Amino acid sequence: MVEIRLYAIGIDEVRDWFGAGVETAATLRGITAERFRAPLAELRPPSGMLSKLGPLFRHDPWAPRLPADLPTPHDVEQLISGRFVAPDRLAQSWAVVRAWLEELSWGHVALVLTDQEWRDLEFDLARAGVPSQFAISKLWGLDPALPLRPEPGTEIGYTKHHHAVATADELRTAAPRVGDSSRGPTTRVVGFLEALAGWSAAAAAAGRPTPDVVGSCRA
């Protein structure tokens, strides 16, 4: 399977999350706390010798146990400070960044395709006359220059606003000429890219950067 995610957000906004200032860091922590709630702790026994003896153990045996795949506060602070993330914490760290992207981008879209559907989509668009520089894969073609490495098997990148708008024009023209299986994904990407104009106006009114497209592809 191939999973493609596209987000409308200025790339500089995303870069500023790593080494974030006080206000941005507070926003990011709030998003994470809301999205990844720790399981409730087991109830402590209301009575009994264990409750009266005090901290016999180095770790509280009644403390909640976080699932291994759940991000921890340490993961969040590593990201916000822009520090190195160990390879075994990449999955949890990217789960946090995706949550930030979903909450702070102007809009996003996700496509889940089989390997064959993805190959057919690329081929159909090229056959319909879409120049290679406007292929869907070019929407994550530029290096985002983030301190967080991609997960294995995942490509992370971005394209600038003006290129995304031009891509929408090319894909819109080609959409009627692609095969049935490719028309749906093409239409969804076009719809997302066409919304950039409205999001750009909203960003200007809010004093935020013009949205670029930040994308990922996981095979």
The pTM of the full predicted model, rounded to 2 decimals, is: 0.87
Task: Show the domain range for 100.
Answer: 2-57+71-218
* CA dihedral (121, 125, 126, 128) positive or negative: positive
Residue 67: its pLDDT value, please?
Answer: 63
135 is a domain residue = yes
85 is a domain residue = yes
Residue 62: its pLDDT value, please?
Answer: 42
- Measure the CA–CA gap between 158 and 13, rounded to whole angstroms: 12
106 is a domain residue = yes
User: Residue 136: CB partners within 8 Å, gap ≥ 6?
Assistant: 4, 121, 122, 125, 167, 171, 189
Mean pLDDT for each consecutive 10-residue tract of the chain (219 residues)?
Answer: 98 98 97 78 45 46 58 95 96 97 98 97 97 98 98 97 98 95 97 98 98 97
145 is a domain residue = yes
The answer to whether 203 and 210 are in contact (CB under 8 A) is yes
Q: What is the 3-state secondary structure (H, E, C) of 53-95?
A: HCCCCCCCCCCCCCCCCCCCHHHHHHHHHCCCCCHHHHHHHHH
- Measure the CA–CA gap between 102 and 49, rounded to whole angstroms: 48
Helices (H), 105-195: 115-127, 161-174, 180-194
Residue 117: its pLDDT value, please?
Answer: 97
179 is a domain residue = yes
**What's the Cα-to-Cα distance from 113 to each of 132, 177, 186, rounded to whole Å?**
20, 20, 12
User: What does the DSSP 8-state code read for residue 142?
Assistant: B
Residue 42: its pLDDT value, please?
Answer: 40
23 is a domain residue = yes
Residue 40: its pLDDT value, please?
Answer: 41
Residue 38: its pLDDT value, please?
Answer: 60
66 is a domain residue = no
Domain count, the chain: 1
